[in-house]
Amino acid sequence: MNTKAKINIKDFSDKPQEECAVFGASLFTDEAVGVCYIGLLALQHRGQESAGMAVVHEKNAIHCYKNMGLVSEVFDKKKMASIAPASVAIGHTRYSSKGTGLKANAGPFVTEYLTGRIAVANNGRISNAGEIREYLLTLGISFDATADSEVVSSLIAYHITKEKTPILGIKKAVEMLSGAFTLVVAMCDGTLYAVRDPNGFRPLCVGFSDKHGCIVASESCALDSCGFTFGRDILPGEIIEIKNGAITDNSARVEKNTLKRGICIFEYVYFSRPDSVLDGQSVYESRFNMGKALAKEHPADADVVCGAPDSGLDAAAGFSVGSGIPLVTGFIKNRYIGRSFIYPTQAQREAAVSLKLNPLKASIAGKRVVLIDDSIVRGTTCGKIVKSLKDAGAKEVHVRISSPPFKHTCYFGTDIDKEENLIANQLTIDDIRTSIGADSLGFISLKGLVKSCNKATVNFCTACFTGNSK
């Protein structure tokens, strides 16, 4: 049944957005602020709405600065000089999937309690944050923001006052949380704690430097950018304690029933940088494998193959190898145009999207083109890209998608909150093909996707494709 009339494709943007990134540095030098800045720059792709940093200074003081904008916009040379030097710092970049886009909701969050102060950076979504907030309000705890992370920070501070040690307080607090989270907690005495939720929905890793000390980050690419050697992934449910640039305790575990799901497979499809390795699986290698799987599952009679920048590029290389069709550069990306969402009108935002990607006519004019993209979620951007290729002279455009149809909401850190907003729930695959103007359309199978990530040491959450929440 053709249900195209039920959805206005122009009303929605086409990609899910991951909520944020976390970073923490515990050094035996005084360069934590600079290292944290570099780490946040490397993780900017995970959140571009706001950035923040909490720095532990002498005399048990934590100084926190955060604002709306990119990392380089929030932390200019003058601001960096005002918060350095320090040996301990944590950082955060945010995309607001939960809580409005206001400075008050930017991370990290600093919470004072009876015997000290903590700063908390969180990546993920806490599905029972509302219930915990109501519970803390009955204890006389007040809130200034609407973000989950403020609730988490207050909950941890409350339990630290009740338990014998900070690590027990953190353990008690996080065992009350439901959903996805990776936490970096800075104590006013300079101790850092890093926590990954017991399902391991979001990535978190630790790295070391003989010259500087220890850092933790959402992705391993940040370790590389800072000049640190990858140590290992933090295990699902693990709490590690870091002091003076070294891990001093990793015995604590979050003890609660879990869904036994594993890392969000969209980390490999779209969220993460291709030079990261998550839970033993190279992101680049997984995307390359997705392209090879697509070539086998959905071959195309075409002259060239190209990828939609950026996360479609690696899958396009794999498709080329798997199919024997030459790989070409299909688009020139303007990396200086800025973020399209800052423009005040929809027309201006759409114009900014067109400015970002310009088809390379020399590669595609008169050719039958295979276009590889990572996903079709709501259905707008892919149609614009197909049209731009045909306007540039492509004879045919065959679209191949390196993820299955996105059909279900995610409660663990993306901005998809209504299933009726998902185009795969409104149209058949052939109707989607018609709506985006493609000559053919193929999605990778779930089996093919999972096999493409077969070096990962953990399970995967695929609920956005299957609806299976167990």
Whether 242 contacts 216, CB under 8 Å: yes
| Tokens coding 3 | 């249900």
CA dist., res. 45 & res. 47, Å (int): 6
User: How deeply is 176 buried, as exposed, middle or buried, from its count of CB atoms within 10 A (0-12, 13-18, 19+)?
Assistant: middle
d(CA 451, CA 448): 5
Dihedrals phi, psi of 141, to nearest 5 degrees: -85, 130
Closest CA to 274 of 304, 316, 232, 329: 316
Of the candidates 410, 463, 459, which has an alpha carbon nearest to the alpha carbon of residue 125? 410
CA distance 294 to 449: 9
253 contacts 58 by C-beta, under 8 angstroms: no
Q: What is the DSSP string of 297-321?
A: HS----SEEEE-TTTTHHHHHHHHH
Quote the radius of gyration of the chain (alpha carbons, Å): 23
Among 20, 64, 188, 226, the active-site one is 20
Helices (H) and strands (E) in the chain, counts: 16, 23
Residue 20 bears catalytic tag: yes
Question: Which residue, among 196, 104, 120, 198, has the nearest Cα to 157 in the 3D structure?
Answer: 120
Catalytic positions, written as ranges: 20
